[in-house]
Amino acid sequence: MKNSTLRIGTRGSALALWQARWVEGEIRKRFPGCATAIDVIRTTGDAVLDSPLSAIGGRGVFTREIERALLEGRIDCAVHSLKDLPTELPPGLSLGAACEREDVRDAFLPRPGNPVRTLFDQPPGTVIATGSLRRRSQILSRRPDLRTVDIRGNLNTRMEKLRASDWGGMVLAYAGIRRLGWEESVGEVIPADVLLPAVGQGAIGIEIRSNDEAVAPVVGALNHPATAAAVAAERALLARLQGGCQVPIGAFARIEGGEIHIDALVASLDGATIVRGKAHGAAARADSCGDDLARTLLEGGAERILRAIDRAGARP
């Protein structure tokens, strides 16, 4: 990148900017002579806040406009929360790096003044806010007497809505809360085996043009092999299930003892039916491990769930 500026594309939320600035800082550490600039790009998901993600297309709503800028050469790389990045990238684009993962778990943030600090100890009928079908289904599976309400917007907006509400609290990804320094708002960090996270949750992905020989080594220096293997397994599972924001799918892969281990689930929209599974295998074949587990889930009942969701018109 000599004699040129590496332009980094990102959404404009506080969390997205934190991630882009972190990537920018890590690049400068490794390549002191590399000039950088951050370009903020507004996406469909940022513009349409009065509808659930499942109603506005789900896949790619936080990435399409940024990817278009990347393909057109207006930016040189794009920084995403990996859980927002569809498994099928546009032709000409590839994942240049999966940065070291933050905590993958979800967190419960009780409304200020609510003395009950934990999610599943809330009284019957308590309203829990979440913008995720994955979270909603798992919550209702354990506590069908709770109520859920959809919430959209960046973290600042969600906090304002929570403070002005009569909800019991809301559930968010703990990684974003940690990155913004909001840990004091957390009542409980929920174990991953209680609330299985989203595919790619907690990881930052950097997207590049596939043929960009100048940018690839710069971005590739930020790749974290263990994280890359884990998210490869999760994304392969998601690709086989053809899921997105419209389907309650959870997955968590990690390297243990030199092997990839992955847990996953597919749930009905109301949480009444959940198909779970787990698998492990060679870390070098992480994507195959994820794909194999997806096939096992489909054979174990997940295909019926997905067909029911399709019949209900919940997927595009």
Q: Which of 200, 196, 201 lies closest to 236 in space, CA to CA?
A: 200
Q: Which of 239, 253, 194 lies closest to 89 in space, CA to CA?
A: 239
Q: How many CB atoms lie within 10 A of CB 89?
A: 15
Reply yes or no on whether 39 is catalytic.
no
| 207 phi, psi to nearest 5 deg | -95, 140
Q: Which of 17, 215, 84, 92 lies closest to 9 in space, CA to CA?
A: 17
Q: How many residues can be counted in the chain?
A: 316
N-to-C CA span, the chain: 40
- Do 260 and 271 contact (CB within 8 A), yes or no? no
Which of the residues 84, 212, 263, 287 is marked catalytic? 84
Tokens linked to 269: 């929209």
Output the DSSP codes for 181-229. T-GGG-SEEEPTTTS---TTTT-EEEEEETT-TTHHHHHHTT--HHHHH
Question: Locate tokens 């929209």: which residue?
Answer: 269
Torsion sign (Cα): 215, 40, 200, 233: negative
Question: What Cα–Cα distance (Å) separates residue 23 from each residue in 8, 12, 106, 203, 217?
Answer: 9, 15, 23, 12, 14
Distance between CA atoms of 151 and 284, rounded to whole angstroms?
Answer: 38
Tokens linked to 14: 């506080």
Tell me the three state secondary structure of residue 250: strand
Query: What single-letter DSSP state applies at residue 299?
Result: I
* Residues carrying an active site annotation: 84
